[in-house]
Amino acid sequence: MTIDEGGLVVPEQVNACLLLRGDGVSVVLDITSGRLPAIVHWGADVGEIGPRDASQLTLAGVRPIVANVVDEPVRVSLLPEHHTGWVGRPGMRGSRRGSEWSPRFSTTALRVDGQPVAAGSTEPQFLTFVAPCLVEVEAADSTAGLVLSLSIELTVGGLLRSQAAVTNTASDSYQLDDLVVAYPVPPVARELLDLAGYWGNERMPQRRSFTVGTHLREGRRGRTGADAATVLHAGVPGFGFGSGETWAIHVGWSGNHTHYAERVFTGEQVIGGGELLLPGEIDLAPGATYTGPWVYGSYGSGLDEVARRFHRWLRSRPTHPSPQRPVTLNVWEAVYFNHELRPLLDLAERAAAVGVERFVLDDGWFGSRRDDRSGLGDWTVSPDAWPYGLHPLVDRVTALGMEFGLWFEPEMVNLDSDIARAHPDWVMATGGRTPVSARRQQVLNLSIPECYAHVRDAMMAILDEYAIGYIKWDHNRDLVDAGTQPSGRPAVHAQTWATYRLMDELRAAHPTLEIESCSSGGGRVDLGVLQRTDRVWVSDCIDPLERQRMMRWTQQLIPPELMGCHIASATSHTTGRTHDLNFRAATAIFGHLGIEWDLRSAGPDDLSELSEWIAFYKANRDLLLNGDLVRLDFPDPALTSFGVVSHDKSRAIFSRSAVGTYETALLGRVRFPGLDPDRRYLVRPAGIGRAAQGLRPPQWWQTTPSDPGSGDGVELPGSTLIAVGLMDAPIHPEHAVLYLVDAVNES
């Protein structure tokens, strides 16, 4: 230990430089002279470097001092610090009634994979670690009475994720207003891309230049939001799916949140984020700790590589669902609130006959819930709709060999409900007023222990009584004026954690239970909720034309097996468009396949073709839901082309969809990225169901005129398919063609 000029004991400082490597990514961390960790490099693998190389690399990144700035080089740490002269967004904002608002932390402890790295060395220690590896840093500001904990992990798949926590060690409270982490990106990254959207039209890409200033995306909905940034990218100008260095950030949190990209006048650039805290929401009592969400960073050459890092990490989790995802029928668009046993039994029989493996009963089974005006929050089976309980339906569904699933919306309440009448103080509110109504409902405050226990026990009772393997967990309104009565203090943070805890408790009691995150469709898609759920509902819009884009960009964060993708009714409930089964099914099989269609109205030909698509999905879901995603950059926006390639590159399935009218009569050759250039492949049309309307098979299909799905295809080297491609098959707009690609065994 050392003693400062005032006679206070000062802990030994950490003096180290770390190199983390894995899956083609390197991260160099400078934790020297007791300062907070700074990222010297995050990007392409730098190879095996030694202590001198690391020292020189760090030195080579120190910026010269220019006119009219502070007299020391500004060092941007993982938690950017105001005291260094950094004029951008500080990583931490808060105060002790106006004091201690600019902390100066000194790193006092360092652990890697749980093993301490000794402090007090005069020369920096240089250490190399291979992913997965976890770096934990402890830092303190004894004057401010604060301790900072940072976790930095390079994961399987090459994701860089970080988490910050602050503890108040003083004798009075500390109000924390903001805590974000930031990753530096190099000056070649001069273009930004993130996502936007709204209900029924989630995850629309948007681009802009990365200019001086801040590109700020704040989510204040109390949930992730259909308009969420989802993944914020910074890349070289023109970066696409297959090329262009790209750095990306995602905040794994289901409540209010922030993503931002910032470029200051001296040229430094960062991308970062964290939880968005409401005024006074985090008031740290003595000894209390606030822990922020994990912030994920992904680097790659092109958007596909960025996405695959997220996918590979998710798939490495022991709790990740198997590719054998059951074909699901959800009854909402078949019966809506009209719950009657006989029609639902008819639906179950028809579903089982075409190969459905999971049957989900949606909204309307409980309390007085005959429409959306009443009953929400009363989680007991309605004796009016179900005089014998759910047993007759559940028993028949399970006897048919299907799993039974049930809809809940545990965080919401109708004011016209037994629970709201008995406990009006359980409704979230502030200012002595009832929040504006949305979807004719309010928010139930799960952060109140008695309210939480009531909802948990009601849900447990249903799960204990019936053989339920799946919950569709809905969340249909934003959190507006979301306070705890009677004080009205903001409670979005506490509500989010209570929701997580409820999911965790239900799954602990029922280990095989699966949960879908549905929130007015795709309003809660993030890596926080996905640590507790098994899939997300991409959108309430199942129109395949809209789903082609929404699925394409949802996969920038999550792999296809986590996306609920249903075959819609012929005429879409949300858009009024009518589509052939070809397009509806060819779109839906590239996710966790389901059906949202009243099969009682389907004719024999439709049911026969539907059975064929389901059989194809079952035969190929190991590839469809476990392969590497590849998306094609193509200049004509009327074509959407993508595929999944097996990890050993022996098989692939590609989709070519006409989402509009082509700019020219023919598209010409379309390439097949992601294959092994050194292997030969047989490419042939899949030929499932009825052919796409307007199909004109190219000669390489080698098909018969009477059966355009019978083509033998063509055999070519992977290098040729990647670099040159094959002539595309013209089809009418809003139709699709699938191609099977199989490596050829060569003697």
Q: Which residues are catalytic?
A: 474, 540
Other Cβ atoms within 10 Å of 416 Cβ, number: 16
**Nearest-angstrom CA–CA distance, 17 and 697:** 60
Contact 274, 528 (CB under 8 A): no
Q: Which residues contact 96 (CB under 8 A, 6 or more apart)?
A: 144, 145, 170, 172, 173, 174, 175
For 504-508, the CB contacts below 8 A with 24+ separation are 504/532, 505/456, 506/456, 506/459, 506/460, 506/463, 506/471, 507/532
Classify strands 470-473 and 403-408 as parallel, antiparallel or unpaired: parallel
Selection from 497, 559, 560 nearest residue 532 by Cα: 497
**Nearest-angstrom CA–CA distance, 298 and 335:** 43
Contact 158, 299 (CB under 8 A): yes
**Nearest-angstrom CA–CA distance, 146 and 66:** 33
| CB neighbour class for 257 (10 Å; exposed up to 12, middle 13-18, buried from 19) | buried
- How many angstroms separate the Cα of 399 from the Cα of each of 178, 345, 403? 53, 12, 9
CA atoms within 13 A on the CB side of 425: 6
Selection from 292, 222, 291 nearest residue 256 by Cα: 222
Other Cβ atoms within 10 Å of 507 Cβ, number: 18
- Using alpha carbons only, how large is the chain's radius of gyration in Å? 28
DSSP lists the bridge partners of residue 183 as 271
**Nearest-angstrom CA–CA distance, 59 and 77:** 15
Which helix (H) or strand (E) is 607 found in, with range? helix 604-624
Dihedral of alpha carbons 257, 210, 296, 135, sign: negative
In the structure encoding, which two tokens stand for residue 321, read together?
A: 């669902």
- How many angstroms separate the Cα of 413 from the Cα of each of 339, 369, 372, 483, 642? 20, 11, 10, 15, 41
Dihedral of alpha carbons 682, 683, 686, 687, sign: negative
Contact 91, 79 (CB under 8 A): yes
